[in-house]
Amino acid sequence: MARAKRLCAALLLAGTLGGCATSGGNPADPLEPFNRVMFRFNDAVDGAVAKPVAKGYRSVVPGFLRTGISNFFSNLEDVWISVNDVLQGKFQQGLEDFTRVFFNSTFGIAGVFDFASDVGLQKHNEDFGQTLGWWGVGSGAYLVLPILGPSTVRDGFGFLVDTQADPVWRVGNVPARNTAVGVRFIARRAELLDATSVVEQAALDKYSFVRDAWMQRRRNLIYDGDPPREREEPDDEPSK
Amino acid sequence: MNPASDQNPMAMKIPFYALFALLIPLAHAQQPVAPDVLVKSITEEVVAILKKDKDIQAGDTKKAADLIETKVVPHFNFVRMTRIAMGRNWRLASPEQQKILADEFKTLLVRTYSTAISNYREQQIEYKPLRAKPEDTEVTVRSDVRPSGSSQPVSIDYEMEKTPDGWKVYDVKVGGVSLVTTYRDTFAGEVREHGVDGLIKSLTAKNRQPERSKAGKA
C-alpha cells in the first residue's frame, strides 16, 4: 500500500509540475520536463543497481532455471490476464488464458513449465490499462513513473489496479513477499538486457526514442497487434 | 509476319528480333520474388550464417554489420525510410542533404541491427499468410518470433513496396513499434532546434561512436 501511496504522490507531483511546464513538442507529452528528470533518475538507478544485478543473475543462474522462474511468475500473471480478457469481452481468449493457468499450474508444476504454450495455447498480453483503453479511455499524458519507467496517466492508474490484483503483492509474509517482488523484478530486467543494449545503440535521444516506442507499443497492445493504420508520410509541405 | 523470310535489308534486323524474342521469356522470369518468399529466404539465409558464425556470437558487431550490408541492405529502401522518419521536414532538406541523411540513417540502422543480431538466440519464426491481392504494390509481411525459453512471441512485420528492382522493405515493426516512426520526434526536435544540418551532425556523431558490444556499458 505504501507503494501505491508513493505512486499517487508521484502522479500528483507530475500533475502540478505539468501545469507550469513548457511543452517540448510532442502533444502526448505535456509533462516532458518532469518526465525527463524522472527518466534520468530511473536510468541512473538502473545503471547502478538493477542492470548490474540482472547481469549477475543472468550469468550465475543457468538458463533453464531462469526460464522456470520467469514461467512461474508468468503463470501467476495469467490469472489477472484472463480476468482482463473477460472485461474486454474477449471470452474465447479468457477461456484460453484460464486453461493456460490450469494446465501450467498442474502439468506445468506450479507454473515452472509453460506446458500450455507447447500445446498451442499462446500467452496473451493484457492488463488493466489496456482494458481501460479498450473501453475507450484515452491514454492521457505520457508519464515516466519512478523505478517502473514509461507509462501514461491511464496506464499508471491501471497499474495501481493491477498491483491490487497481483498475487505476489498479496503474500502475507512480508520478507517472502519482498523477495518474490525483487526476484520477479530482476528476472524481468534480465529478459530485457538485450533489448536495452539495442535501444542504447539505436537512439539519438534515448528519452524521446523510448517514449515514442512505448506509445506505439501500448497502442499496438490495445488493438491486439492490429491497430488501424496511421498515415506514414504526412503532408509533404514543410512544417514552417 | 516472319522477318526471317525477307531477303532484303530487313534481314539485317534478324539478330535484333532474335534478341527480342529471347528477352520475352526472360522478362517473365524477372517477375519479382513474392514479398513473403523474399523475407523468408533472406531470414533463413542470415539465421543460418548467425548460427555458424562464432565471431558474431561473441559480439563482433563489425562482422555482423558486413553480413547485413551484403545480405539485407539491398532489400531495403533507405531513402523512403528516411523520408518517413523526417516527415514534413524532408522537404526542408536540399537533395544533397537528403542523400547524406539517408546514408547516415542507413548506417545507424545497420549498426542497430548488428547489435540486435549479435544477441541472437535460438528462436522459432512463424510466418502468417500474406493478405494481399496480386496487383497490390504495398504489402505487410507478418511473422511471429518466439525465442526459445520465452512464452510470448514477438511480432515482426515488414512493410514492403513493389519496385522495378523487386520488393523492398521500407519499415520494420517489432511488437508494433516501427523502427522508422520511432525516430520521428527525435528528428523533428533536432531540425526544430538546430536545423537540418544539426540533425546531420548529430547522426554523424552518433555513427562515429564506438559500437556497443554485448559487454558494453549502457
> CA A197 to CA A102: how far, in whole Å?
36
Chain B residues with CB under 8 Å of A212 CB are 181-186
Supply the ipTM of this predicted assembly.
0.78
Of chain A, the percentage scoring pLDDT greater than 70 comes to 85
Q: Give B157's strand partners.
A: B142, B173
**Spatial contact of A42 and A144, defined as CB atoms under 8 Å apart:** yes
For A113-166, write each residue's pLDDT tens digit: 999 988 889 899 999 999 999 999 999 999 999 999 999 999 999 999 999 999
- Contacts with B, A 45-84, CB within 8 Å: 47, 51, 63-64, 66-67, 70-71, 74
Q: Who contacts A200 (Cβ-Cβ below 8 Å, separation ≥6)?
A: A206, B212, B216, B218
How far is Cα B74 from Cα A170, in angstroms, rounded to an integer?
A: 54
Identify the pLDDT of residue B218: 38
For residue A87, give Cα distances in angstroms to A36, A96, A174, B70: 34, 14, 31, 49
What's CA A202's distance to the chain center, in Å? Answer: 21
Query: A15: pLDDT confidence band, cut at 50, 70 and 90?
Result: very low
What is the C-alpha separation between B161 and B168, in angstroms, rounded? 5
pTM score of the predicted model: 0.80
A120 touches B at CB < 8 Å: no
Q: Is the pLDDT of residue A50 over 50?
A: yes
Q: Tell me which chain B residues have a C-beta less than 8 angstroms from the C-beta of A211.
A: 185
Q: Give the Cβ contact number of residue B201 at 10 Å.
A: 14
Q: At what angle do helices A91-106 and A63-87 cross, to 10 degrees?
A: 150
Categorize the per-residue pLDDT at A225 as very low, low, confident or very high, splitting at 50, 70 and 90.
confident
Q: Give the mean pLDDT of A166-170.
A: 91
Mean pLDDT of chain B: 84
Virtual torsion, Cα A81, A85, A88, A93, nearest 10 deg: 150
Domain extent for A127: 2-18+28-222
Residues of B in contact with A122 (CB under 8 A): 152-153
Contact B176 A208 (CB under 8 A): no
Q: Is residue A88 part of a domain?
A: yes
Helix, strand or coil, per DSSP, at residue B9 = helix
Classified as helix, coil or strand, B163 is strand
B203 close to B101: Cβ distance less than 8 angstroms: yes
Does residue A232 form part of some domain? no
Q: What is the dihedral of CA B175, B181, B185, B189, to 10 degrees?
A: 140
Q: Which grid cell sits at A23?
A: 511543452
What are the chain B neighbours of A206 within 8 Å (beta carbons)?
none
- Residue A75 falls inside a structural domain: yes
**Distance in angstroms (rounded) separating the CA atoms of residues A74 and A90:** 20
Is residue A57 included in any domain, yes or no? Answer: yes
Residue A23 forms part of a structural domain: no
In chain A, which ranges are continuous DSSP H helix? 2-20, 32-45, 51-60, 63-87, 91-106, 115-118, 128-134, 153-165, 174-191, 193-202, 206-222
* Average pLDDT over every residue of B89-98: 95
Whether A118 contacts chain B with CB within 8 A = no
Inform me whether the pLDDT recorded for A17 exceeds 60. no
Distance, in Å, from the CA atom of A230 to the CA atom of B166, rounded to the nearest integer, reads 25
Residues of chain A above pLDDT 90, percent: 73
Q: Please, which pLDDT band fits residue B3 given cuts at 50, 70 and 90?
A: very low
> Strand B138-147 and strand B123-127: pairing?
antiparallel
Look at residue A228 and tell me if it is in a domain.
no
Block residue for cell numbers 556499458: B217
Check whether A213 has a pLDDT greater than 60.
Answer: yes
Residue of A nearest to B206 (CA): A204
DSSP-derived 3-state class of residue B159: strand
Statement: residue A231 has pLDDT above 70: no
Query: pLDDT tens across B108-118, in order?
Result: 999 998 888 88
The mean predicted confidence, pLDDT, of chain A is 87
Share of chain B above pLDDT 90, in %: 54
Q: What is the pLDDT of residues B16-30, one digit of tens each?
A: 555 555 555 555 555
Per the listing, cell 528477352 goes with B23
If you compute the radius of gyration of chain A from its CA atoms, what whole number of angstroms results? 19
Residue A161's CB is within 10 A of a number of other CB atoms, namely 16
Residue A234 located in a structural domain = no
Say if residue A73's pLDDT is above 80. yes
Domain count for chain A: 1
Cell of B52: 555458424
State residue B149's pLDDT score. 67
Closest CA to A197 of A10, A13, A46, A77: A46
What average pLDDT does range A66-78 have in this prediction? 94
